[in-house]
């Protein structure tokens, strides 16, 4: 190969043209380097994502320092991922990266030397498949096609053709994990300062979908999936009735959370008793395992969960407190007339046999547990957006998040904490359904801690801890104070809240 360097002013030659023309081979070189990185095991980013969450009201940064919020850090990580993607594929950034003034000290002046050498290669011999291979091809294709048809059929047929619940009853539904979502973006208020937090409080949801045979086959051995009969899924209610009951439960949970949180912080609050609505019928006898009621109170023959009592023994009811004086005039075993209103059906009447309470007082009761329908009057408006989510299990999560947003400092100690449990007016935490499935959802979300009701019982708590493994700590609490104590023991400020709401004057 011959090389020449031009120094005199003359007409352009092959050498001078090569020295002054823009180079266009740099992209190929960079792409080759990217290929080498991929083949040599250098990590690469397979995708990017950015998430921004708005706040319904202005917030103050805790601690007074210039630290970035969690959302800012997410954007920074997303931007870095975009940059790495660009390094992997420089062609996508610019079609002409090389500078037109880039020069080579010596250039090839012979075109002949740069031509690829044509090396003859022997022809490839194509051979037909052997007889043995041909013999196996047909049955393998038939088996594969048959398996495909089986999977397709299993994904269309209902699960109750084979699935059964723990009692051996056909189970067309399943209770499965759904999600663990932040509470703070769902809460809004603007009458008082709001404080942003580095930590995060999550509420947890489950689903109860109708399942197929394929779903049953996949989930049968998973402890976080429980198959349900139609009665377990809906009880004695229609789907519409159950939906309305769940909406009522969520409304009560939100109002109770507002009352408990603001009362804890010293704000002026007031409680107004609400209507008499049946939550569940009293159970007189459970099975040997203690997991299923086998005999309900006589009122079960007349009332359903979600019914609103309008009149009892000829006396019209306005609030729950009206019921006790009426029942005090009767003895267990007496029968009284009741008038009720059922969601989706309207008014109904019936005659109910009264029973004695099993709480040691022997007082006379109808035989049902009422919803806590008390309405909280708070000194300023608070919005809690529950969307289409129903049920009472987010009550404790709402309460803790309100406390966290209304006070300076870190209630969670900067951790990601999931919370479940119904909240009562007295601050107690009630049991919820689907704890094991919820534990699975929390574990997939990557939370550090899961606060649950101790009322779930040791057996269910043990099953939840088995699903949680070593990566998720489960702490059972009796009430709000127990939850604050648990958070304080793990770096939070739950024992240093004080009473910042004392002396607050609502706007007239």
252 contacts 283 by C-beta, under 8 angstroms: no
With respect to residue 322, please indicate whether it lies within any of the assigned structural domains. yes
Contact 177, 206 (CB under 8 A): yes
Greatest pairwise CA separation for the chain in angstroms = 123
C-alpha 256/C-alpha 435 separation (Å) is: 22
Q: 184 phi and psi, to 5 degrees?
A: -50, -45
CA atoms within 13 A of residue 502's CA, in its CB half-sphere: 5
Helix (H) or strand (E) holding 353: strand 346-353
Nearest C-alpha neighbor of 278 from the set 362, 365, 194, 364:
365
Contacts of 485 (CB under 8 A, 6+ apart): 477, 494, 495
CA distance 51 to 69: 13
Decide which of 373, 399, 432 is a domain's last residue: 373
Residue 247 lies in a domain: no
Domain-embedded: residue 295: yes
Pairing, β 449-453 against β 416-419 = parallel
* Beta-bridge partner residues of 202: 182, 418
CA nearest to 312, candidates 358, 350, 369: 350
Q: What is the CATH number of the domain that holds 313?
A: 2.30.42.10
Residue 354 lies in a domain: yes
Distance CA 505, CA 499 (A): 14
Element spanning 418, H or E = strand 416-419
Rounded Cα distance between 363 and 356, Å, is 6
Decide: helix, strand or coil at residue 74.
helix
Kindly provide the b/e burial profile for residues 425-435, where b requires at least 16 CB atoms within 10 angstroms of the residue's own CB.
eebbbbbbebb
Residue 195 to residue 320: CA distance in whole angstroms? 37
Q: Of 358, 373, 388, which residue constitutes the final position of a domain?
A: 373
Report the distance separating Cα 277 and Cα 350, nearest Å.
16
Contact (CB, 8 A) for 479 and 396: no
CB atoms within 10 A of CB 456: 21
Residue 479 maps to a domain: no
Q: Output the pLDDT for position 289.
A: 63
- Structure tokens, 415: 């951790």
The per-residue b/e assignment along 377-401, b for 16 or more CB within 10 angstroms, e otherwise, is ebbeebebebeebbbbbbbbbbbbb
pLDDT value at residue 57: 46
Question: Given the DSSP bridges, would you call strands 226-228 and 346-353 parallel, antiparallel or unpaired?
Answer: unpaired
Which residues have CB under 8 Å from 252's CB, separation 6+?
A: 371, 372, 373, 374, 392
In a domain? residue 75: yes
Q: What are phi and psi of 223, to 5 degrees?
A: -65, -25
Q: How many CB atoms lie within 10 A of CB 196?
A: 16
The distance in angstroms from the start CA to the end CA of the chain is 95
Per the domain annotation, does 489 fall within a domain? no
Structure tokens at 496: 């240093």
- pLDDT at position 58 is 46
- Residue finishing a domain among 331, 349, 373: 373
Q: What is the pLDDT of residue 68?
A: 42
Q: Which domain holds residue 355?
A: 274-373
As a whole number of angstroms, the distance between CA 413 and CA 390 comes to 29
Cα separation, 396 vs 427, in Å, equals: 9
Phi-psi region of 49 (alpha: psi -120 to 50; beta: other; left: phi over 0): beta
Q: How many CB atoms lie within 10 A of CB 152?
A: 11
Check if the beta carbon of residue 493 is closer than 8 Å to that of residue 406. Answer: no
DSSP string spanning 40-59? TT--------------SS--
> Which pLDDT belongs to residue 443?
94
Q: How many domains does the chain have?
A: 2
Q: In whole angstroms, what is the distance from residue 395 CA to residue 182 CA?
A: 14
Listed as ranges, residues in the chain with pLDDT below 70 are 1-122, 124-129, 134, 154, 160, 236-238, 241, 289-291, 508
In a domain, 28, yes or no: yes
DSSP symbol at 117: P
Looking at residue 7, its pLDDT comes to 39
- The single-letter DSSP state of residue 63 is G
> What confidence score (pLDDT) does residue 452 get?
97
């Amino acid at each position: 190969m011959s090389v020449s360097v031009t120094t005199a002013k003359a007409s352009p030659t092959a050498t001078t043209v090569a020295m002054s023309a823009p180079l266009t081979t740099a992209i190929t070189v960079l792409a080759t380097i990217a290929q080498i990185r991929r083949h040599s095991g250098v990590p690469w980013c397979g995708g990017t994502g950015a998430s921004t969450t708005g706040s319904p009201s202005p917030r103050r940064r805790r601690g007074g320092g210039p630290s970035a919020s969690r959302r800012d850090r997410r954007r920074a990580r997303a931007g870095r991922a975009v940059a790495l993607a660009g390094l992997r594929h420089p062609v996508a950034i610019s079609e002409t990266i090389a500078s037109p003034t880039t020069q080579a000290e010596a250039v090839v002046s012979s075109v002949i030397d740069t031509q690829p050498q044509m090396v003859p290669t022997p022809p490839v011999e194509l051979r037909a498949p052997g007889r043995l291979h041909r013999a196996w091809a047909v049955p393998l294709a038939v088996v594969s096609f048959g398996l495909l048809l089986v999977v397709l059929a299993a994904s269309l047929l209902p699960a109750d053709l084979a699935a059964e619940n723990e009692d051996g009853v056909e189970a067309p539904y399943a209770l499965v994990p759904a999600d663990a979502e932040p509470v703070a973006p769902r809460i809004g208020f603007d009458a008082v300062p709001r404080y942003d937090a580095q930590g995060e409080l999550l509420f947890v949801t489950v689903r109860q979908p109708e399942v197929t045979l394929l779903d049953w086959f996949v989930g049968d051995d998973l402890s976080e999936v429980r198959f349900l009969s139609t009665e377990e899924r809906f009880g004695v209610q229609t789907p519409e009735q159950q939906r309305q009951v769940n909406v009522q439960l969520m409304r009560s949970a939100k109002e109770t959370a507002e009352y408990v949180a603001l009362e804890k912080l010293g704000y002026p609050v007031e409680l107004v008793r609400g209507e008499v609505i049946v939550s569940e019928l009293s159970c007189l006898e459970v099975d040997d395992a203690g997991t299923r009621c086998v005999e309900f109170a006589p009122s079960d023959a007349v009332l359903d969960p979600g019914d609103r009592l309008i009149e009892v023994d000829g006396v019209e009811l306005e609030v729950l407190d009206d019921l006790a004086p009426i029942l005090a005039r009767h003895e267990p075993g007496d029968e009284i007339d009741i008038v009720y209103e059922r969601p989706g059906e309207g008014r109904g009447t019936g005659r109910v046999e009264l029973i004695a309470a099993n709480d040691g007082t022997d007082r006379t009761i109808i035989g049902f547990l009422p919803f806590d329908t008390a309405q909280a009057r708070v000194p300023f408006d608070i919005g809690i957006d529950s969307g289409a989510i129903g049920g009472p299990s987010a009550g404790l999560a709402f309460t803790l998040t309100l406390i966290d947003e209304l006070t300076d400092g870190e209630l969670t100690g900067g951790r990601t904490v999931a919370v479940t449990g119904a909240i009562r007016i007295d601050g107690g935490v009630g049991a919820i359904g689907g704890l094991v499935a919820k534990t699975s959802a929390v574990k997939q979300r990557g939370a550090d801690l899961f606060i649950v009701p101790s009322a779930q019982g040791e057996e269910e708590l043990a099953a939840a801890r088995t699903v949680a493994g070593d990566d998720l700590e489960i702490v059972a609490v009796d009430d709000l104070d127990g939850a604050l104590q648990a958070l304080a023991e793990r770096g939070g400020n739950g024992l240093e809240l004080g009473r910042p709401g004392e002396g607050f004057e609502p706007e007239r």
